[in-house]
Amino acid sequence: MANEKTRRRLSADDWARAALTAISEGGLPAVAVEPIAARLGATKGSFYWHFANRDALVAAALELWEREHTEAVVEHVEAEPDARAKLRRLFSDVTTGAARAPENRIEVALLATASHPLVAPTVSRITERRIAYVAALYEELGVPPGRARRQALLAFTTWLGYTQLVHATPEVLPGGAEAAAYLGFVLDEVVTPEGLPDGRPGPPPV
């Protein structure tokens, strides 16, 4: 009886997080009710308490990914004092996160299945959300909208390429102190290069 009570304490987020872990390890096909139940020490009955079917679990996992890997990141970055600091904090945080497992594996696995009808709308929406947020930060610095969008795409694709390399060929990337130097280089050359406006108002007219 105590074991059954423990099982019932599992939340929908517990199942969704376990599904994300499964995705990070084996892609979308790894989201299967019985193996995830075994991972959680739960029963299929616990699963059906929260979800109607596997598709509903996948949807919950994608929603959790959006909350924790996009919206929570934006909320954290917004604590910085200005747009330039936000850009540097954002890129620094997500690049550091890309070097950790299972965060990098989740991104790579979801992108690999981005054409799947369950995944495509979420990946498309989140990608646009991320790029639009970065573009808005560049616009806060006084960058014209067209260039702000291009600059945001450059920063985003740089991060995405880094994430793919961390997953596929980490040996080509610098490590240790050289990794920090490389991040500083990218921040200076790609994310907030010299010549970008700083967002501060100019002197008053005379």
Tell me which fold the domain 2-191 belongs to.
Tetracycline Repressor; domain 2 (1.10.357)
* pTM score over 0.85: yes
With contact defined as beta carbons under 8 Å apart, do 110 and 59 qualify?
Answer: no
Q: At 119, is the secondary structure helix, strand, or coil? A: coil
Please check the confidence at residue 98 and state whether its pLDDT lies above 80.
no
So what's the pLDDT on residue 2?
38
Question: Can you give the C-alpha Rg of the chain in angstroms?
Answer: 20
Burial profile 158-178: b = 16 or more Cβ within 10 angstroms, e = fewer:
bbbebbeebbeeeeeeeeeee
Where residue 200 falls among pLDDT bands split at 50, 70, 90?
Answer: low
pLDDT tens across 158-173, in order? 999 998 898 889 899 9
